[in-house]
Amino acid sequence: MTQQSFTATPLAPIRGFAWMLAALVALGPLAIDAYLPAIPMMAEHFDTSLHQIELTLSLFLLGFAAGQLFGGPFSDRHGRRLTILIGLSLFMLGSLITAFGTQVEMLWLGRLLQAFGGGMGVVNTMAMVRDRYSGQESAQVLSQIVTILMIAPLAAPFIGSFLLLFADWRAIFLFLFTYAVILLLVLRRHLPETQNQAQVSMVNPVKRYLGVLKSRPALAFLFSVAMANAGMFAFITGSPGVYMGYFGASEQLYPFLFGANIVTLTLANQLNIRLLRRYSAKRILAFGQLIQIIMGICMVVSLIWLPLELWALVPLVMLFIGMQGLIVANGMSSATDFFPHSAATATALISASGFTLGAVSGALVGFIGDGSPLAMVGIMAACPIVGFGLRSWLQRQVIPS
């Protein structure tokens, strides 16, 4: 596959384009975060351990990755709209199976199906942006989408807690079903196909994925995004135990501590949009990785050599998570620039890698955790170091220093 930069032809704007794509991407954080407050209730309902219910999170991440890996080539072959509509339909079916499951195994099945469908739909977001924009403009549009998207992870824990005041845990999955139904109807009516006939790829999906994997410049950005996401999911998995279990924060305070990260993430996305007017996406990405490394080291050092308190940990985590706003959008746009005719395939591989490594990092937090924050902050610190190191090494292989 030829590695080249591609400049999209200017096209007429689509009304509400960023809002519709942001609502589509919101499926992921809503499905991940909204049911977290209900996990103890679900364990009690099914008379099983918390671990059996927490397993649904790892299964969701793996299913989401699989949906993206399948949906990327399917979208490049059959179009964005069809892939999105099929994905939303599967998400709806998985939500119903989860809501009305009578055994914990039904939860696993429903979450896998829900995740697979969500992954199929979400993978088209970056592809649709790539269909219409390129380079710096692509990164700016993606940052706008991510800024809008930040409402979802901020609101999700509050939505779940609010629904539990009036109903049981099933109401959360019925809410997700309803959200998907409304989204399907809106996108079917208002979101046009962005892929033109010249972009349709008839190449075998395996060959398309191999084409991405053979591109060292693309791999450099793939690892940057994937390791950043792995660090974030280590926090998502470990934060309930660290904030509430170790530091004793209340269940009412936890959503605010969790939501504080969305504030810095939103501000970083706004900063990214402005920085892209003066600096390259690659340079901004490197800056974001360096800040994450510094914050990760500070967390580990503070925990080992100082009496780390909650008030000191929260700001460090906020800056760490906030740097996702400088890394993900720029990494995705930089990587997909090399694949103008297989944007969804490239996006799928990058995003699926992040969710897969996120499932691994989250599982490691639970496996090696001893009740202290060390496992969480240690893995969070290691992820950007690995991502930065791999990016630097791969880029040197292309352009020797």
Chain region(s) in the chain for CATH 1.20.1250.20: 14-191, 205-400
With CA atoms as reference, report the closest residue to 100 among 157, 174, 151, 32. Answer: 174
The pLDDT of residue 204 is: 63
Q: What percent of the chain shows pLDDT beyond 90? A: 22
Q: Which two tokens stand for residue 328?
A: 């993900």
CA 46 vs. chain centroid, Å, equals 29
Look at residue 6 and give its three-state secondary structure.
Answer: coil
Instruction: Name the most confidently modeled range: 11-25, 32-46, 119-133, 215-229.
Output: 215-229
Fold classified for 205-400: Growth Hormone; Chain: A; (1.20.1250)
Of residues 315 and 5, more confidence is placed in 315
Q: Which two tokens stand for residue 386?
A: 């690995």
* Domain 14-191, second-level architecture: Up-down Bundle (1.20)
Look at residue 220 and give its three-state secondary structure.
Answer: helix
Ordered alpha helix ranges (H), 79-197: 80-99, 104-122, 124-132, 135-149, 151-166, 170-190
Q: Which two tokens stand for residue 118?
A: 């969500």
The pLDDT of residue 1 is: 40
With beta carbons less than 8 A apart as the criterion, state whether 39 and 53 touch: yes
- CA distances for 142 relative to 217, 287, 327, angstroms: 20, 18, 12
Chain segment 36-82, per-residue pLDDT in tens: 777 778 888 888 776 677 678 778 888 988 898 888 778 877 788 88
Distance from C-alpha of 375 to C-alpha of 364, rounded to nearest angstrom: 8
Helix/strand/coil percent split, the chain, to 5: 80, 0, 20
Distance from C-alpha of 87 to C-alpha of 370, rounded to nearest angstrom: 39
Of residues 270 and 336, more confidence is placed in 270
- The angle subtended at Cα 260 by Cα 315 and Cα 147, nearest 5°, is 115
pLDDT at 341 over 70: no
Helices 310-322, 374-398: axis angle to 10 degrees equals 30
Rounded to the nearest integer, the mean pLDDT of the chain is 81
Chain segment 95-118, per-residue pLDDT in tens: 999 999 888 888 889 999 999 999
Look at residue 167 and give its three-state secondary structure.
Answer: coil
pLDDT at 296 over 90: yes
pLDDT at 155 over 50: yes
Distance from C-alpha of 168 to C-alpha of 353, rounded to nearest angstrom: 34
pLDDT at 210 over 70: yes
DSSP symbols for 226-264: HHHHHHHHHHHHHHIIIIIIIS---TTTHHHHHHHHHHH
With beta carbons less than 8 A apart as the criterion, state whether 18 and 349 touch: no
The pLDDT of residue 316 is: 94
Distance from C-alpha of 342 to C-alpha of 10, rounded to nearest angstrom: 19
Distance from C-alpha of 129 to C-alpha of 138, rounded to nearest angstrom: 6
pLDDT at 18 over 50: yes
Q: What percent of the chain shows pLDDT beyond 70? A: 84
Distance from C-alpha of 338 to C-alpha of 249, rounded to nearest angstrom: 46
Of residues 215 and 121, more confidence is placed in 121
